[in-house]
Amino acid sequence: MKKFITTIGILTGILVLNSCKKVLDTLPTDRISADIIWSSKANAETFIFSTYGIMSSFQSGPGADPWTTNIIAQGGIGGSANPVIGETLTNRSDYGFNNWAAVRRCNVIIKNVTESTGIADADKKELIAEAKFLRAMSYFQVTRNIGRIVWIDKVLTENDEFKLPTTANPTESYNYIIKDLEDAVADLPIAKISGRTNKYVAAAFLTEVCLQALAYKNYPAAPNVAPNDPLLDKIITNAQLVISGGYALEADYEGMFNEVKSTSNEIIYGIYRKAINTSVQSTPMQNCMPNITADKINKFQGSPLFIKSVPFECWPENFPAQNLTDDYLTIDKADPTKVVPWNQTSQYINAIDETVNVLAPFSRLGFPHDKTAKLNDETLVKMGRIKPGSTESIWTLTNENRDARWKASIISDSTRFYGELFTTGLRGNAARFLGEINGGDYAFTLSNMYWRKGIYTNVSPSYLNSVSTDYHFVCMRLGRVYLNLAEAYLLKGDVANAVINFNKTRVLHGQIPAATASNLISAWKDYKRERRVELTEENDRYYSLLRWGRYGGDANDGLASGSSIAELTEPIRVMDISKDRKAFSIVTGPFRSIYNNRKFQPSRRYLLPIPQGFIDNNPKFLPQNPNW
């Protein structure tokens, strides 16, 4: 599979290879003449490659997930999330409304390729389609946040009117985006080059664009999605096109997100970075891995010490929340056809006594091995202890027979990773209370878990921020397309086909029995859980929750369209485990933030505001989005 690396360095190479000495002698040495750039397909591609920064909005990593209960965050990620989850945003906030420079690049490509005398007509068709794809994706990011865009489909000159209006509503915005993507699907090639679009990439993203477009019809009124809506047929047609395009679901789920299967045949579109210009600190790994030394562990009498003196020296800000991990289902040992949350299995019910008080006052030294603790500003949700005579432990209850994506995505207590054993119970070597012992040190998890998904395993000599590494971001893959297809069938009321399609990822990636939902209520419940665990850390959950809230009904716990969304208002939960792994407690709390006071104002939060400063300069951007 071919790759290309987006870098300005390519431009220099092309200039040297394709320009004559006379041109170099007469033009400024820091400029490339437009005549040269658009004189051939190869030269034009250098400009196109440097426009792919648009796709960074869709890359894997936390994205908008910190706005949900998938993630508990601190530092910069937490600080950026707090205004959203606490509803302190104002209409002065800017979430990407001004994408006009990116759009101009796309329009420059379309204009100059069209007018080029050196590019063959067949090549022109493909390059223009590529520019339309990129233009659509730039506008999609604005539309899913703000709803309205300033549609520009030509290269503006100094003689043009710059105070252009916005689209009237999200539907008009999505109509433009869908048209661009349909043109791209029609004219893009089928060749698969990692990091570059093709017919199937455009079709895959089109399935998701259409889902969002359906949800925001008639905004702010209810969308009233009909089973025969043409957009549903577009989703199904394009999803089937992608499925027929030679991609295949990957058996090694974890490997898709690290170096092992970075070019897996499931990945439809990824962004690839090379170690020559990439280090740990420029990847999500920097904010997922801890910063732990022996002296920090010893302050809490923790154990074991890591084998390397400092295997991890990052700045952790992004951690899985218990709210998310509770959705990784467990096969019941008494009935292997039954798959339920870990704390609803027969093995849990038989092994755990929830009436026992397992809490002890938190202390730095001598903390008991059979107790857990909580801070003064935390609230107990549940606790329990293994019954005398039971052969179970908290580890077996939370790990054995569990959805395989749990181990592939999460570093939890007693997980071995990078040759080191992580112990995240009380008096472990990587638990949240180590931060309290070390004076509020931000070097540790807030949830007693770390991400494994998206973490390369060949970083050497250690996870130090300046260490060079290859890295790739997953933006679209076949599993996501199957889920988009399943959602289209749910909206059609076709439960059987919906279940068939979301079982594709559940069975292969989760390695748990297929869902057997026979009605829309249970099918939506199974689907939403499946999408959550399958696409966590892939920048999906927030936008999916908004979409389902707009649909209303079975998609949002039976509530009317535009109602509140329970998952965006529930407090974050954290589980602590005793050193002997026989006791646990679950708490909610601020966790250095506002995570126990989450708000969602449905009258305004389904769309973010147009920045008021832009409206002040151009009244044609009015009206402001509702209640901003």
3-state secondary structure of 269: strand
Residue-wise pLDDT for 116-170, tens only, equals 999 999 999 999 999 999 999 999 999 999 999 999 999 999 988 899 999 999 9
pLDDT digits 0-9 by tens, 68-85: 999 999 999 999 999 999
156-189 pLDDT, tens per residue? 999 888 999 999 999 999 999 999 999 999 999 9
Q: How far apart are CA 303 and CA 581, in angstroms?
A: 14
Residues 458 and 255 sit within 8 Å (Cβ to Cβ): no
Give pLDDT, residue 31: 63
DSSP conformation class of 573: E
Say how many CA atoms lie within 13 Å of 400 toward its Cβ.
14
The answer to whether residue 385 scores a pLDDT higher than 70 is yes
**198-205 mean pLDDT:** 98
- 592 confidence band (pLDDT: 50, 70, 90): confident
Name the pairing type of β-strands 312-313 and 463-464. parallel
Amino acid at 445: T
Q: How many CA atoms lie within 13 A of 76 on its CB side?
A: 8
Q: β-strands 330-331, 573-577: how paired? A: unpaired
CB 617 within 8 A of CB 391: no
Could you report the per-residue pLDDT of 594-622, keeping only the tens digit for each? 888 899 999 999 999 999 999 999 999 99
Place of tokens 């320009």: 19
**Per-residue DSSP letter, 192:** -
Per-residue pLDDT, 402: 98
* CA–CA gap between residue 317 and residue 78 (Å, rounded): 7
pLDDT at 300: 87
Res. 421: pLDDT tops 80: yes
In a 3-state reduction of DSSP, which class is residue 253? coil
Count the residues in the chain: 628
Contact 599, 82 (CB under 8 A): no
Determine how many CB atoms are found less than 10 A away from the CB of residue 510: 23
Q: Is the pLDDT of residue 262 over 70?
A: yes
Q: Where are the alpha helices (DSSP H) in 50-198?
A: 75-85, 100-115, 121-146, 170-187
The HSE-up count of residue 68 (CA atoms within 13 Å, CB side) is: 23
**Mean per-residue pLDDT of the chain:** 93
- The whole-number pLDDT of residue 9 equals 38
Predicted confidence at residue 25, as pLDDT, reads 46
In this predicted structure, the answer to whether residue 477 has a pLDDT above a threshold of 60 is: yes
The pLDDT tens digits for 9-50 are 333 333 333 433 344 344 454 566 788 899 999 999 999 999
Question: Average pLDDT, stretch 489-504?
Answer: 98
- Residue whose entry in the numeric block shows the structure tokens 């759009």: 103
Task: Flag whether pLDDT at 471 surpasses 60.
Answer: yes
- The DSSP annotation for 367-407 comes to --TT-B---TT-EEEEEEEEPTT----HHHHHHTTB-HHHH
- In this predicted structure, what is the pLDDT of residue 15? 35
The pLDDT of residue 35 is 83
* Cα gap 212→606, rounded to integer Å: 12
- The percentage of the chain sitting over the pLDDT mark of 70, rounded to a whole number, equals 95
- Nearest Cα neighbor of 150 from 626, 625, 624, 620 is 620
Distance, CA of 469 to CA of 476 (rounded, Å): 22
Per the CB < 8 A criterion, the answer to whether 596 and 571 are in contact is yes
How far apart are alpha carbons 504 and 480 in whole angstroms? Answer: 10
Asked whether 273 and 522 are in contact (CB, 8 A), the reply is no
CB-based contact 60:473 (threshold 8 Å)? yes
**Contact 217/171 with Cβ under 8 angstroms?**
yes
Q: Nearest-CA neighbor of 140 among 102, 105, 92?
A: 102
**pLDDT, tens digit (0-9, with 9 covering 90-100), for 509-553:** 999 999 999 999 999 999 999 999 999 999 999 999 999 999 999
Global pTM exceeds 0.85: yes
Is the pLDDT score of 332 beyond 90?
A: yes
